[in-house]
Amino acid sequence: MVQAKVFFKCENFQKMGAFKMRGAANAILSLSSDEQAKGVVTHSSGNFAQALALAAKKIGVKAYIVMPKNAPQVKKNAVKTYEGEIIECDSNPIAREEMAVKVQKETGAKFIHPSNDDAVIYGQGTAAMELLENYPDLDYIFSPVGGGGLIAGTALAAHYFSKYCKVIGGEPINADDAYRSLLSGKIELNDSTDTIADGLRTNLGDRNFPIIKKYVEKIMRVEEEEIIAAMKLIWERMKIIIEPSSAVAFAALLKNKSDYKNKNIGIIISGGNVDIANLPF
Amino acid sequence: MVQAKVFFKCENFQKMGAFKMRGAANAILSLSSDEQAKGVVTHSSGNFAQALALAAKKIGVKAYIVMPKNAPQVKKNAVKTYEGEIIECDSNPIAREEMAVKVQKETGAKFIHPSNDDAVIYGQGTAAMELLENYPDLDYIFSPVGGGGLIAGTALAAHYFSKYCKVIGGEPINADDAYRSLLSGKIELNDSTDTIADGLRTNLGDRNFPIIKKYVEKIMRVEEEEIIAAMKLIWERMKIIIEPSSAVAFAALLKNKSDYKNKNIGIIISGGNVDIANLPF
């Protein structure tokens, strides 16, 4: 179909269903035992909340998860299953940052940002590292771009563990902050984030953007219908369940396949947490 | 969840999305070169049509597929993609058998039954054989029961390649011909086949039933809602796409889990061909 060899790194099969487990585990394991004893805190209503809670549980560390009051009950339940302590806040970015600071002050817990944290970035990079261990001849790795942690880690892994592998980002046109940030040279924000790829609505941060600027070859944008078509193709032909955000990198390859003929290409399938009762097809 | 170790043989990842590829390939490869030169013929509106067409194409043999006129266009297209020659017939069992005989007479092609054929049965058994190669300590293998080819092959594999592994069938209560056949000692038919597990509506045959009678430990029946719940669980937790028929064996284990505590259990996930635009959840 692409006239290239394509290898998929299936992070949908990762613990809690997404690559986020890697960064969360690495961030907690990078703390001193004194720091670990005080616990960790993050603000997230998505996969990172579950990842940090599960990683903390496995390592034996307390996790405080700041979540907006109106977060879906299913996501709150998942965090509770992993024994994370939920602290509710109002549903806006300032309220959740303030609440995270408050928890830090009261408990001494270490704040871990879902994507703008060095240890998180390095952890996310282990997906590409493993892919390159299995397929050292990859010419390109395609990764989705959301908050920037995954693609920054992927770019570092390609830089340090491969001689020539280049990293390309896939991003929804409807939330193309990273594409515009690479053009302007500074972190751009999204005016709107009307995309089915709900994991890719966040903005880049000051820790991951410099890495992305230095090591990512380019970012390619895709339309909503291209994301849905790529997702459906993977479901139907590969028989695996991936979330819309995961389809974005593959959609970018499909859209530009003529440029990648006969190449060896890795695709990071970032996760598989999707509401199967509410599908776009 | 089951308090047992459970290993899944994922035939949804098989070529054309189901275990049927194994039996089709083995049946064609078991023919003499003279027989192969004349081609093969089957009647099927389901996975076996695609499997025989694809296996024939790969081996370089002509495949004639007798399909009812009203078979879904998507299934006809799949057979055409694999270069099978479709011969249409009226939509009833007698018409399709007569048409298959007619094709045999006119072309000299060898008839290969989807489930009641020794070479097909042995081919289907290679799934369990591979599972036992990887996990020699399995106490049980659960397989769905449809036309009987898969479970008969599975039972032979367990008998010949394991010292103590027993084979258990899962069957929809709404199409429990195999369950009743084991009780009565002769092949029973289904009065109705009102089950979502569309691959399991067929009856046993005179080649596979004696094997099932001799080597299958027992057949356990499940309700429609148990099939759907097991299917949903696998989709959501394992992030793989399986068809309803595949969920029946796992549903049988879930229903009777207290009997299988601390055992090593293999489950044959028979296929993943499902219309994702038309799901039961």
CB burial of residue A213 (10 Å; 0-12, 13-18, 19+): middle
B235 closest CB neighbour out of A13, A232, A276: A276
Sequence-distant (6+) residues with CB within 8 A of B189 are B177, B203
Which one of A11, A235, A239, A274 would you mutate to disrupt binding with B, by most B Cβ within 10 Å of its Cβ? A239
Residue (of B274, B240, B254, B233) closest to B170 by Cα position: B254
Cα–Cα distance for residue pair A25/A199, rounded to 1 Å: 19
In eight-state DSSP terms, residue A152 is H
**Contact flag A279-B276 (C-beta cutoff 8 Å):** yes
Per-residue pLDDT of A255-274, as tens digits, reads: 999 999 999 999 999 999 99
Per-residue pLDDT of A3-55, as tens digits, reads: 999 999 999 999 999 999 999 999 999 999 999 999 999 998 789 999 999 99
Question: Residue A220 has what pLDDT?
Answer: 98
Decide if B5-15+118-269 and B20-111 have a common fold: yes
Q: What percent of chain B has pLDDT over 70?
A: 100
- The answer, yes or no, to whether residue B109 has pLDDT greater than 80, is yes
- Sign of the alpha-carbon dihedral angle for A25, A27, A30, A36: negative
B240 closest CB neighbour out of A236, A240, A281: A240
- The answer, yes or no, to whether residue B277 has pLDDT greater than 90, is no
Q: What is the mean pLDDT of chain B?
A: 96
**Contact flag B232-A281 (C-beta cutoff 8 Å):** no
**Contact flag B236-A277 (C-beta cutoff 8 Å):** no
Task: Please give the residue of chain A at the shortest CA–CA distance from B235.
Answer: A241
A241 closest CB neighbour out of B13, B17, B241: B241
Amino acid at A30: S
Task: Please give the residue of chain A at the shortest CA–CA distance from B269.
Answer: A239
Q: In Å, how far is B239's CA from the nearest CA of chain A?
A: 5
Task: Please give the residue of chain B at the shortest CA–CA distance from A12.
Answer: B239
Cα–Cα distance for residue pair B130/B19, rounded to 1 Å: 12
Per-residue pLDDT of A219-238, as tens digits, reads: 999 999 999 999 999 999 99
Q: Which residues of B have a CB under 8 Å from any CB of A? A: 12-13, 17, 232, 235-236, 239-242, 272, 276-277, 279, 281
pLDDT-derived band of residue A278, with 50, 70 and 90 as boundaries? confident
Query: How many other C-beta atoms lie within 10 A of the C-beta of residue B126?
Result: 18
Sheet holding B5-10, edge to edge: B5-10, B264-269, B140-144, B166-172, B216-222
Q: What percent of chain A has pLDDT over 70?
A: 100
Question: Residue A45 has what pLDDT?
Answer: 77
Contact A100, A34 (CB under 8 A): no
Q: What is the mean pLDDT of chain A?
A: 96
pLDDT-derived band of residue B40, with 50, 70 and 90 as boundaries? very high
Would you state the structure tokens that stand for residue A51, as one six-digit string?
A: 């990842």
- The answer, yes or no, to whether residue A92 has pLDDT greater than 90, is no
pLDDT-derived band of residue A71, with 50, 70 and 90 as boundaries? confident
- Locate the DSSP E strands across chain B: 5-10, 40-43, 63-68, 85-89, 110-111, 140-144, 166-172, 216-222, 264-269
Cα–Cα distance for residue pair A36/A52, rounded to 1 Å: 13
Question: Residue A191 has what pLDDT?
Answer: 86
**Contact flag A240-B241 (C-beta cutoff 8 Å):** yes
**Least confident span in A174-183, A201-210, B40-49:** B40-49
For domain B20-111, the CATH architecture is: 3-Layer(aba) Sandwich (3.40)
**Contact flag B242-A240 (C-beta cutoff 8 Å):** no
Which one of B239, B243, B245, B281 would you mutate to disrupt binding with A, by most A Cβ within 10 Å of its Cβ? B239
Per-residue pLDDT of B127-184, as tens digits, reads: 999 999 999 999 999 999 999 999 999 999 999 999 999 999 999 999 999 999 999 9
Q: What is the mean pLDDT of residues B225-232?
A: 97
Residue (of A67, A145, A77, A125) closest to A99 by Cα position: A67
A235 closest CB neighbour out of B13, B236, B276: B276
Question: Residue B278 has what pLDDT?
Answer: 87
Which helix (H) or strand (E) covers residue A20, if one does? helix A20-29
Q: Tell me the β-bridge partners of B264.
A: B5
pLDDT-derived band of residue A277, with 50, 70 and 90 as boundaries? confident
**Of how many residues is chain B composed?**
281
pLDDT-derived band of residue A91, with 50, 70 and 90 as boundaries? confident
**DSSP conformation letters of A86-107:** EEEE-SSHHHHHHHHHHHHHHH
Per-residue pLDDT of B43-77, as tens digits, reads: 987 899 999 999 999 999 999 999 999 888 888 98
Q: What fold is seen in the domain B5-15+118-269?
A: Rossmann fold (3.40.50)
Q: In B, which residues are within 8 Å of A272 by CB distance? A: 239
Q: What is the mean pLDDT of residues B187-213?
A: 94
Q: Where are the domains of chain B?
A: 5-15+118-269, 20-111
pTM of the model as a whole: 0.94
